[in-house]
Amino acid sequence: MWSCLWNLQNNSNHVVIIVLNDRPTLRLLKRFRTIILGIVLILMLLVVLFTKVELTPYHQADFYHETIAIKDSLKHQLQQQEAQTSVLRAGWGRATIMPPEPVRLTGKNFKPYQHVFDSVKVRTLLFDNRVNRVLVITYDLWIMHPVLAGAVKRMINERFPEVNGIYFTANHSHTSIGGWASGLLGEIIVGGNSQETIDFIVEQTGRAISRAVYMLDTVSVGFGDVETQGLVMNRLDENGKVDNKLRVMKMVNSQEQMGLFNTYSAHSVYMNKDINTLSADYPGPLIAFLEDQPRVDFAAFAPGATGSHTPIGRKPFEHQKMINYANKLAQYAYDLEGQITTESTNTLKFVEWPLELRSAHFRISEHWRFRPWLFNMVMGKPRASITVLRIANTVLVGLPVELSGEYYQELEEVYAERGLSLMITPFNGWFLGYANPEKYYFTLKRAETREMNWLGYQSGEYFADLVKQVLEII
């Protein structure tokens, strides 16, 4: 109840004193105050954790101009690599990275694998023309993470100091071994950072490199590509452009031993991630088929522009279906190899192009994202480079993102105008998510365009532009 006390002062002024003595009302006011404080705290938390998506066109942004400003120094660096070269030599080697005891796989499997479909390996190609000695290293792993890349680089610097260029990639198998990455991504997806696993992979990489050094011999090289039918599709847009080409760089040494380096833009997701089985996915049997052929001594695989592409016919999963799929691709490669002519060359150039990037964009909705500091704290601050390797008239461009295959035809045509062939590969020692066309950024609510598009608006256009500008330095 409310009680009121009326006091008469100077016969004209009244003072009203209201005394609150109802306990339910007191509780109501306290509850109201708590709600207000809660709302204020939530608003403060929203301001601290979230911000709007940044939509400055990439070519107007500071990060773009800072990246482009580095080009001239890179061009000068590559010009210096043209002097005093000798005929190209190459060697290759391989080693298993399947641990002595089962470990956790990448993806959904949190227990050590129970079955093995095929072994997982590291494969190395070593190129040398007296001025440069460059390694191409491809792993049967989901990605090439900076933690593992750093460990491998330290080993190479100690044991193979004459190597002055390293070109990393990985076949992107989602059912290979984990335990080689740090941070939240490493813990959830890759099974954390196991020093034992990293040391094992590094040691096996050294074995494969030693084999490549032992095999060094003069080589002739050539390039070819072929359009495949019914094997790959655009998973973002069934009516979108599809890169269906299998690309092959062929090397033949003085002993008539042949090496084949293959790229294809279909994601290595043929395997069902829910079964606890170790596999290199379809690239495993593809390479095995090629290396079983009498003319082929060595074969290696790297993904192409996988940001929007996936294999056709993988569901429901059957192991034999995957074998058949791989054999079809391998047959394309083997038939193509017979049509590729090789020539001697002394052209071997390598450069690493450091990149500036748009701030991290882990979106929670169409126009809102986590603040970059939060992404950086959980995942690590995005840092990256583009690795560029030219062998004769074939240019390998290693990216830190999975670029959409929708860009490939245009980029390929630009290179062809200069008489060059282009092989794009991801996972060059960094992993910064997907880079797909701008047209999907607001129209598709998909992992490829939301959660895994870490570099935001026009990231695909940005990297496609840089691939074109590689031509100005190579």
pLDDT in tens, 37-80: 777 777 776 666 889 999 999 999 999 999 999 988 898 888 88
Whether residues 47 and 134 share a domain: the answer is no
pLDDT in tens, 215-251: 999 999 999 999 999 999 999 999 999 999 999 999 9
For residue 417, pLDDT beyond 90: yes
Whether residues 45 and 109 share a domain: the answer is no
For residue 442, pLDDT beyond 90: yes
**Domain range for 31:** 23-52
pLDDT value at residue 375: 86
Whether residues 362 and 418 share a domain: the answer is yes
Neighbours of 428 (CB within 10 A): 26
Whether residues 120 and 158 share a domain: the answer is yes
Mean pLDDT of 454-458: 95
152 φ, ψ (degrees, to nearest 5): -65, -40
Whether residues 120 and 31 share a domain: the answer is no
| Percent of the chain topping pLDDT 70 | 93
Query: Is 265 part of a structural domain of the chain?
Result: yes
Place 109 in a pLDDT band, splitting at 50, 70 and 90.
low
Residue bearing the bigger pLDDT, 48 or 358: 358
pLDDT in tens, 383-408: 899 999 999 999 999 999 999 999 99
Whether residues 368 and 253 share a domain: the answer is yes
Whether residues 442 and 344 share a domain: the answer is yes
Whether residues 102 and 69 share a domain: the answer is yes
Whether residues 31 and 71 share a domain: the answer is no
Whether residues 189 and 95 share a domain: the answer is yes
Whether residues 189 and 331 share a domain: the answer is yes
Place 12 in a pLDDT band, splitting at 50, 70 and 90.
very low
pLDDT value at residue 10: 45
18 φ, ψ (degrees, to nearest 5): -110, 120
> Are the C-beta atoms of 426 and 399 separated by less than 8 Å?
yes
How many domains does the structure of the chain reveal? 2
Mean pLDDT of 318-339: 97
Whether residues 304 and 426 share a domain: the answer is yes
Residue bearing the bigger pLDDT, 307 or 30: 307
Which residues have a Cβ under 8 Å from the Cβ of 243 and sit 6 or more positions away? Answer: 232, 265, 304, 305, 309, 405, 406, 408, 409
Nearest-angstrom CA–CA distance, 108 and 276 = 9
**In the structure encoding, which two tokens stand for residue 143, read together?**
């990605």
Mean per-residue pLDDT over the chain, rounded: 91
For residue 8, pLDDT beyond 50: no
Of 159-163, 188-192, 231-235, 283-287, where does mean pLDDT reach its minimum?
188-192
Nearest-angstrom CA–CA distance, 352 and 387 = 5
pTM for this prediction? 0.91
